[in-house]
Amino acid sequence: MIARELEPIIEKRLFKGKVILVLGPRQTGKTTLMRRIAVKQKIDYLWLDADDPTVRAQLTDVNIAGLKMLVGQHKLLVIDEAQQVQNVGLTLKLIVDHIPDTQLLVSGSSALELASGVNEPLTVRKFEYQLFPFSFNELVAHEG
């Protein structure tokens, strides 16, 4: 697997009390990157794929009690394809503010849709990163 330059940068920002957003074009490896990061933490994590209509429903029009039940004791919550969730910014804000011991790692393939839904509610509550297709440095490091 090709190591991504963004991986250690994101890992250093984990558990700092902010949402980590990984945005970028389709098929650039956002899901793979987040899965690698989650597994390396060696903690119990919850993976939610917002492409699934059931997951979208669980994350839409939520309340604090419902979110606490969903997250449970997980220390890492990964939400993939978050742009699929209506008002996702408000949902993420509620989790950050009311479940502070849980790290949020969130991806979206449609940067514009996701960013427009999170900018206002997550002001000063997020680290945002853009993941692009493999860089020359990443390919050289992998292939020599």
Domains of the chain: 18-110 (3.40.50.300)
Position 141 confidence tier, pLDDT thresholds 50, 70, 90: confident
pLDDT value at residue 111: 57
Residue 112 has pLDDT above 90, yes or no: no
pTM: 0.88
Mean pLDDT to the nearest integer, 38-47: 95
pLDDT value at residue 123: 76
Most confident of 45-59, 101-115, 128-142: 45-59
| Alpha-carbon span 111 to 107, nearest angstrom | 9
Mean pLDDT to the nearest integer, 127-139: 84
Position 140 confidence tier, pLDDT thresholds 50, 70, 90: confident
Length of the chain: 144
b/e burial code for range 108-130 (CB count within 10 A of at least 16 → b): bbbbeebbebbeebbeebbebbe
Mean pLDDT in the chain?
89
As a three-state string, the secondary structure of 73-88 is CCCEEEEECHHHCCCH
What would the pLDDT profile of 63-111 be if each residue is shown by its tens digit?
999 999 999 999 999 999 998 998 888 999 999 999 999 999 999 876 5
